[in-house]
Structure formats: structure tokens, C-alpha cells
Structure 1
Amino acid sequence: MNKPNLSIVAPHPAMYHLNGNDIHYQLMLGGGNDMEIRKKNLLAMALLCLTMVASGCGTTPEGANGKSGATKSNQVKSEAPANIQMRTIKTALGDVEVPIQPQRIAAPAYLGTVLALDVQPVASDFLLMESPYLEGMLDGVTDVGDSLEALVELKPDLIITNINKEEAVDKYSLIAPTVAMPYNSFETIQEEMRYFGDLLDKKDVAEQWITDFESRTGKLRDEVQAALGEGETVSIMQEYDGKVFLFGSKSGRGGRIMYEILGANPPSTVPEHMLAESFYEFSLEMLPEYTGDYLVLTTKSTLEELQADPIWGNLPAIRDGKVYLWTESESWFRDPIAVEGQIDNLAKWIIQTAKTK
């Protein structure tokens, strides 16, 4: 069986591994010399950043009285120009002082969310920038990768990250006020949009997006609910190298769309703690128990290859063609713009498939 393409090297090991958000990076960070080299490179960049900051290239870690301002991440504040008004916002690591009207946003995370709020960030991460759903929307956005030096040169006044480790966020905080929110922090896409709409002084844009989105997806939800039979369920999975991963409502791969937005239900046999995680690995032996009437599957395999497989081919959803197959490059993204680009196809698939039963 062909394997999904999981060969992209993570640009920010801590960003995608420590928060436990995505299996792509969990698999990539299995260890080895490359990981150690990346850690050393990140440390070297951090030390370089500190040197540049202290010498006046960017913001300074010291106050006017010469005392150090760097302590815990929820206390660290970059020196803001006197004419910049600040306010306090809650983050995963505590309260942070941020500009009331940030102008130069670095978005190593939540790139699609920032763009959905009509804000053009100055920086992001190459993996997020490779999203097929953001094509043509990234003029002026610089890929800073894991280079703190490159980030310093862009002089952001706000950094958005999904890292939830103080030691990593502290490095960002020496460059600019940093808001840390793991990807699974928000129960709904509306909550996510309102949080960042407030942060970026775009509350009106967030509310308009929510109104339009709910109007559009409400109709899709009703159609999907009408198409599904009583008690019918949907599973969200990815297969890779003999392993299987299950995704819940706070995940990409279609989990956010099918469960949170379209109101489909997972099989009752799936333990709740597995769905509470961003992803959960389980053994192939449990496939028959955890696979619903319909299956959304991230894979590089074709339907014919899956049907010929002795394990996958015995699943009713595979055998009867009640499976939606897509690649990781299509399914990984879960931001508002990606969801808008994915939801029509997923809803249409399950509605049409249900008609054939």
C-alpha cells in the first residue's frame, strides 16, 4: 500500500511537536542526529537574537533603568515605543501585554486565521505558506523558518505562535509581544475567529465572517443531517506505514468539518479520550470497531488498493465505497480559509454517497 507523503522536515520542531497537535511532526521527530542539530541551531539563533536585541537591533530586554525585563513568559514584555498603546490579553501561558492595534504581525501559526481577518502578516512558516487554500494570498509574507534573526529583521510588533512551552515562547517574547495558543485551544471555529479578531482589532471582520460562514454551512449541515440515516456514523482517520491515527473535532483531516461544523457523529465504540486528543494512534486490529458507516481517510492509496488489502478491504466503508480519500497536503490544514475550501466537497460527498445506500 502506498504511504502518505510525510517527508517534509519540520521547520520548528518545538512548535509542532510539543503541543501534540499534529501527527506529521510527531512522526518526523523520532529523534536522531538531525533533531540534535536543529536544537543546537535554534539555541544558536536565540543567542544571536539576544545579542542583537541587547545592542539595539529591534526591541530591548532592558527597561530604562537598566534592569532586566525577562522573567517568566507571562511576564516578559518587549519594550514598546512610547506612542504605542498596550492592553492585556489572555493566552495559554498567562496574560500578555499586546499592542491595541498591531501593525506588523508575525504568524508562525494561525496564518489562515490571520488572513481570514483581512490582515496581511509580515512573516510566517513555510509549511503553512504551502497550503493550497492560500494560493495568491501571500504577497508580502516572508518565510522566516526557524530563524530568529530573520524574525528580528522584520521588526514585528506582535508574534502569534501555537507553542505552549515557556522556554520557547520566551525567545519570541524578546523580539515582540507573543501570543501563544495551541491549535486545540478553541472549541469552535467561531471562538477562534473571535479571539483573533479581538487580538488584531478586527472584531467587526470576525463577526461578519462568522455570519456569512454560519449562513452557508448551516444549509450544508441540514443537508448532511437529512442524508445520514439514524445512528449512522463517520470516522476520521489517517493511515501510514501500517499505523492508523484517529482524529476528533479539534483536528484537521476533516475532523473539525465533519464533527464540529456538519454535526456528524463518530462511532459510539470509540472511547471519548481518543477523540479528545488532537490525534490518537491505535492498532490495525481495532479498525473494524472504530470505523463508522462512512470514513474520511488521509492516504496515498487508491480505493482499489485499499479494497485489495486484507485488512482495509474487509471494512464495509471501504468495501462499499463509502470512503472519502484525500492526501495530507489537502487534509492537514484546518484554518478558516482551508475549511471554506474543503467543506463543500466533504458535504457533497457524504450527501451523494448516502443516496446510493
Structure 2
Amino acid sequence: MKKLLIPLIVLVLVLAACGNGSDDNGDKNDKTTYKQDDGKKVKVPKHPKRVVVLGTTYAGGLKQLDTNIVGVANLVDDSKVLKKKFKGVKKVDPEKVESVAKLKPDLIVTYNTDKNLKKLNKIAPTVAYDYQKHDYKDQHKELGKLVGKEDKAQKWIDDWDKKTKNDSKEIKDKLGKDTTVSIIKDFDKKVYALGKTYGHGSEVVYDSFGMKMPDKVEKATKKNDLAEISNEEIPEMAGDYVITPVAKGSKLSFEDKDYWKNTDAVKNGHTIKVDEGIYWLNDPYSMDYERKDLKKQLLDK
């Protein structure tokens, strides 16, 4: 009996090993179809194992979804929030296709404006998003759909809505429901008033906190979600509170001008300078930092 039992056990183990091996191969070669923003369909791995993210905007979202990222655009290091999250991950220059190829990705995620799309598609299936098409929640849902983590993406959104609903009540109870907030950005010798979905804290302030935008800003930004304004227009675009994103250590070009100093926001100490390196992003990690930072500064002021 023992002589028969041993070969049977060996046979069972061999068959089990073979079964595991075929599952691994099947998983490795298993593909799904993903519809891109331009309507084109691309075959992508159901469970990608080696993802390279060239679109910095999507890096934090894919990381939050526990995606195995083997390479990420070097711009993540401009954000102290994302720099910590991608410690030990290979940083690549999005312009240098060769550095991407060396990482042997099975999926590449980038912007639809990437000039190297044809070359990237030869390396691995490449999904190119239209940044303007998605708000931060929709963007996270799409990333969840791409990597088979839709439930995890939705959970983050549900948790976010719950947290920010409480934040909104706390802020409005202290500042008042009709308090207005502007986001004014100083960039390349031009000044812009930002709309409701242009990043730089706008999604947090207007969508999540539910705060109001000055009427003139709302009208000016309605079409393109931002509006270039003259220096003389700054006072009329300034809300009760003004958020100004700037590069770390930099000054606003209008910081010492009388038209800025004489606004009610400046006189009342209601200006909030934020770190451009973090605030231009709207992934879950960056958004949570912005949520906490803006809530604290608004309540403190």
C-alpha cells in the first residue's frame, strides 16, 4: 500500500505544479480592452506587473491603487508629497524613450499630448489620457478601471466625500457660507485667475469644501477654466480669501505692489501662499495634503 501511495502523492504534486505554472502564464498573457479618451481601444494586461507612468498627474493615483510601478516621470520629485511615495522607484525623463524601454514595461501611462506616442506603443501597450477631460474623481475611476481596481478607486472617492463633507461644515460654520475664495496664479510674467477644476487647490476649495468663487472670477473662467488678467484687475478678482500657488522660495511678481497690498484679503491677513510643486497635482496623496493644509490655513486665518 505504501509503495502505491508514494507515487500517487508525487503525481498529485506534479499536477499541482503544472496547474500553477499554467495559471501564471495565463495571468501573464491575459489581456483586456481599454477604451481611451480619443475613443480608440487598446489591449492592456488585466493585471499589469511593470507599469511606467510618464504622466505625472496619474502617478499618485496608480500608486494609491497598489499598482506595481517600475518607472515614473522625474517630475514627481518636485513634489515633497510624491517624492516620498516614489522613493526607490526609477525616475525617467519622459522625453527619453530609451530609458523607458530599458525598464521593460508591460503598460505605459502618459498624456495624449506626448509626442513619443508611436514609439512608446512599440515598447508596450500605451494609454494616453486627455488631462482636460477628467475631474479628479473621474480620473481616479478611470485609473481603477485600467488596472482592475475599480472598487478600490471608488472606496477612496467615498472616503474622500465623507471627510470633506465634515471639513466643509467646519469651515463654513467659522468663515460663513457666503465667504468667497480666489486662486490667483503668477506664471511666466502673466497673472491668471483659476477656475473650479484647474488644479492648484481649486478642486478642494470649490468642489470638496463647497466654497464660493467671486462672481467676476466665475464669469471670466467659465469658458476655459482660467483667465489671464491684468495687474489692474487683481483687486476686483480677489475674494475674501486669496490662494496663490508659487514655486517654493519664490515671490509673487505683484507682492510689493500697492494694488495688491490694498485688497481686503491682504489687509485682513486672508492670503494663503501654497507650494506649487504639490498643488498642481490632483492625485489622492496630493489632494489629501491640500485638503489638510487648506483647511488649517483657512481656519487659522
- The bucket for the TM-score relative to the shorter chain is 0.7 to 0.9
Distance 2:282 2:258 in 1: 32
Alpha-carbon distance, 1:149 to partner: 0.8
| Cα distance, 1:82–1:264 mapped onto 2, change above 3 Å | closer
* Deviation digits for residues 117-159 of structure 1 (CA, Å, limit 9, x no counterpart): 1223111111123321124322442122021111111111111
Q: Is the 8 A contact 2:78 2:278 kept in 1?
A: no
Contact 1:184-1:250 within 8 A present in 2 as well: no
| Higher RCO, Cα 8 Å, sep 6+ | 1
Given that 2:168 and 2:209 are in contact with CA atoms closer than 8 Å, whether structure 1 keeps it comes out as yes
Q: CA deviation at 1:338?
A: 0.6
SS of 1:192's equivalent in the other structure is helix
State the structure with more CA Rg. 2
The corresponding residue for 1:93 is: 38
Letter in 2 for 1:160: V
RMSD value, Cα: 2.4
Post-superposition shift, 1:217?
Answer: 1.8
| Equivalent residue number for residue 321 of structure 1 | 269
Cα distance in 2 for partners of 1:96, 1:201 equals 15
Query: What is the deviation of 1:334?
Result: 2.2
Q: Aligned pair 1:294/2:244, yes or no?
A: no
| Aligned counterpart, 1:133 | 81
1:348 maps to 296
Q: Distance in 1 between the 2:63 and 2:226 partners? A: 26
How far off is 1:233 after superposition? 1.1
Paired amino acid for 1:86 = K
Specify whether residues 143 and 275 from structure 1 end up closer, same or farther in structure 2 by C-alpha distance, changes over 3 A only: farther
Alignment of 1:79-228 (within 5 A): 84-94=29-39, 95-109=41-55, 110-145=58-93, 146-164=95-113, 168-187=116-135, 189-228=136-175
User: In 1, distance between residues paired with 2:99 and 2:188?
Assistant: 36
Shift of 1:279: 3.9
Alpha-carbon separation, structure 2, partners of 1:129 and 1:243: 26
| C-alpha spacing 1:273/1:315, structure 2 compared with 1 (3 Å) | closer
Deviation, structure 1 residue 82:
10
Query: Structure 1 runs of 4+ off > 3 angstroms?
Result: 275-280
Q: Give % identity.
A: 29
Distance in 1 between the 2:72 and 2:275 partners? 23
Partner of 1:234: 181
Q: Matched residues in 1 for 2:27 and 2:151: separation?
A: 27
Q: More helix per residue: 1 or 2?
A: 2
CA distance in 2, matches of 1:217, 1:136: 24
Aligned-partner Cα distance in 1 for 2:42–2:225: 26
SS for the counterpart of 1:122 is strand
Contact kept in structure 2, 1:92 and 1:164, CA below 8 Å: no
Does the 8 Å CA contact 2:52/2:107 hold for their aligned counterparts?
A: yes
Q: CA deviation at 1:278?
A: 5.3
Query: Structure 1 residue 222: deviation in Å?
Result: 1.7
- TM-score, normalization by structure 1: 0.69
Alpha-carbon spacing, 1:214–1:181, altered in 2? closer, same or farther (3 Å): same
Give the alignment of 1:26-105 within 5 angstroms.
Answer: 84-94=29-39, 95-105=41-51
The aligned amino acid for 1:257 is: V
What amino acid maps onto 2:288 in structure 1? E
| Bigger strand fraction | 2
CA positional deviation for 1:241: 6.0
TM-score, with structure 2 as normaliser: 0.80
Compared CA separation, residues 242 and 198, structure 1 to 2 (3 A): closer
- Whether the aligned pair in 2 keeps the contact of 1:93 and 1:164 (CA below 8 Å) is no
Change beyond 3 A, Cα 1:283–1:273: closer
Once the two structures are TM-superposed, the CA of residue 240 in structure 1 deviates from its matched residue by 4.1
Q: How far has the Cα of 1:114 moved from its partner?
A: 0.9
Deviation string 1:261-308 (CA, Å, 9 cap, x unpaired) is: 111121111254625535432211211221111100123338xx93x5
Shift of 1:318: 1.3
- How big is the shift at 1:332? 2.5
Shift of 1:333: 2.5
Secondary structure (helix, strand or coil) at the match of 1:266 reads coil
* Structure 1 residues 322 and 183, CA gap change in structure 2 (3 angstroms): same
